[in-house]
């Protein structure tokens, strides 16, 4: 994920108090132990930093496919594994071909709405550099845990709309997985109407989580306000105004290709921190209590978007 320097540009839109219960303000639960296990496993040294195309990436894929299998959910097309090709070019003009793998699954909605929500996060990271592993627990094992928690919630509490869950590859190489998905969106599902994206949601000393997207669609403001009233974190709007320059996150993660294609989004993430894109972005440094509050918040958010989608997307 690509973020830049901190700017004070948002307003606190709500907070709630975390209890010791795993029960949401909305019906449903998520397995807190499983969420912690997900980020711990994905950010372990034996995943090698999950760089696209690496042995560590393959190991991460195998682990995630095991988690998906436990949910007993539908494939998107004939498989959960959707491979794509892309090419990168170095500063000296050397071109390299790559193959990435997006992991997709689906839960059918009960409302026959004709609309589909995509809940996404990227599972890749930077790999190893100069003998040090960049484990990427916040960036973005945390977002993957968010996607899996939302899937748990909707498996137990079926959504109104169809939901595709997308674990994207090669975000760190230019949002390649999301770009490949959007290029093929009509084949994947022509009814995709909204994207909820999680990227870096496990670290905050201030109990703050940011949500971007309302600048581009004013109808999202009351939805965010409702989420904020139920959330166990301070939910702050912002980082989505192009006038902010480097502090505009509209294209900073996998929601960017959806926005470019005219599909509205909500993006949840924290601001940069000293561990960002460092080998120190390790499980042992995660503030677990905040991480769990953040996961609870994004599950609440996904539930509220599902309930409100008809009013958001006319």
Domain harbouring 114, CATH code = 3.40.630.10
Read off the pLDDT of each residue in 23-52 and give the average, rounded to a whole number: 85
pLDDT confidence of residue 314? 76
pLDDT(157) > 70: yes
| DSSP category for residue 277 | T
Read off the pLDDT of each residue in 93-112 and give the average, rounded to a whole number: 97
Range of the domain at 218: 30-312
12 lies in some domain? no
Instruction: Provide the CA 83 distance to its chain's centre, in angstroms.
Output: 19
40 lies in some domain? yes
pLDDT(151) > 70: yes
Q: At what angle do helices 55-71 and 32-42 cross, to 10 degrees?
A: 160
pLDDT over 90, % of the chain: 88
pLDDT confidence of residue 24? 38
Cα(193)–Cα(300) distance, integer angstroms:
19
7 lies in some domain? no
15 lies in some domain? no
Beta strands in 90-138 (DSSP E): 95-107, 116-122, 127-129, 132-134
Read off the pLDDT of each residue in 246-258 and give the average, rounded to a whole number: 96
Read off the pLDDT of each residue in 140-153 and give the average, rounded to a whole number: 98
Read off the pLDDT of each residue in 284-293 and give the average, rounded to a whole number: 97
pLDDT band at 15 (very low <50, low <70, confident <90, very high): very low
Question: Which one has a higher pLDDT value, 187 or 3?
Answer: 187
pLDDT(9) > 50: no
pLDDT(27) > 50: no
268 lies in some domain? yes
119 lies in some domain? yes
Strand partners, 89: 95
Distances in whole angstroms, Cα of residue 18 to Cα of each of 53, 83, 143 = 40, 40, 20
Please compute, for residue 45, the number of CA atoms within 13 A of its CA located in the half-sphere on the CB side: 4
Strand partners, 208: 234
Instruction: Provide the CA 199 distance to its chain's centre, in angstroms.
Output: 5
Number of domains in the chain: 1
Instruction: Provide the CA 110 distance to its chain's centre, in angstroms.
Output: 24
Read off the pLDDT of each residue in 228-234 and give the average, rounded to a whole number: 96
14 lies in some domain? no
pLDDT confidence of residue 183? 98
Read off the pLDDT of each residue in 46-72 and give the average, rounded to a whole number: 98
pLDDT band at 91 (very low <50, low <70, confident <90, very high): confident
pLDDT band at 1 (very low <50, low <70, confident <90, very high): low
Question: Which one has a higher pLDDT value, 167 or 23?
Answer: 167
56 lies in some domain? yes
pLDDT confidence of residue 140? 98
Residue for token pair 């390299």: 96
Q: Supply the mean pLDDT for the chain.
A: 92
Q: Choose the weakest-confidence range: 9-18, 121-130, 285-294.
A: 9-18
């Amino acid at each position: 994920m690509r973020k830049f320097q901190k700017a004070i540009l948002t307003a606190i839109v709500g907070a709630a108090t975390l209890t010791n219960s795993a029960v949401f303000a909305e019906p449903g639960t998520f397995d807190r132990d499983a969420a912690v296990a997900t980020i711990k496993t994905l950010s372990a040294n034996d995943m090698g930093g999950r760089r696209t195309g690496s042995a560590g990436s393959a190991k991460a894929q195998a682990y995630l496919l095991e988690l998906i299998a436990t949910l007993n959910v539908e494939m998107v097309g004939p498989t959960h594994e959707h491979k794509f090709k892309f090419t990168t070019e170095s500063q000296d003009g050397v071109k390299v071909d790559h193959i990435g793998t997006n992991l997709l699954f689906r839960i059918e909605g009960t409302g026959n709405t004709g609309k589909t929500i995509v809940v996404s996060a990227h599972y890749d990271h930077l790999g190893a550099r100069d003998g040090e592993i960049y484990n990427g627990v916040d960036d973005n094992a945390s977002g993957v845990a968010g996607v899996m928690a939302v899937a748990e919630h909707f498996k137990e509490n079926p959504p109104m709309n169809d939901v595709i869950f997308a674990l994207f590859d090669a975000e760190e190489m230019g949002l390649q997985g999301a770009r490949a998905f959007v290029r093929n969106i009509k084949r994947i599902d022509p009814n995709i109407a909204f994207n909820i994206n999680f990227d870096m949601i496990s670290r905050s000393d201030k109990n703050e989580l940011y949500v971007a997207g309302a600048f581009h669609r004013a109808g999202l403001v009351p939805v965010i306000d409702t989420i904020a009233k139920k959330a166990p974190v301070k939910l702050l709007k912002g980082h989505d105004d192009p006038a902010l320059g480097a502090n505009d996150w509209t294209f900073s993660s996998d929601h960017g290709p959806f926005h470019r294609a005219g599909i509205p989004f909500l993006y949840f993430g924290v601001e940069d921190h000293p561990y960002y894109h460092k080998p120190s972005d390790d499980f042992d440094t995660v503030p677990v209590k905040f991480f769990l509050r953040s996961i609870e918040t994004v599950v609440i958010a996904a539930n509220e978007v599902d309930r409100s989608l008809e009013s958001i997307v006319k």
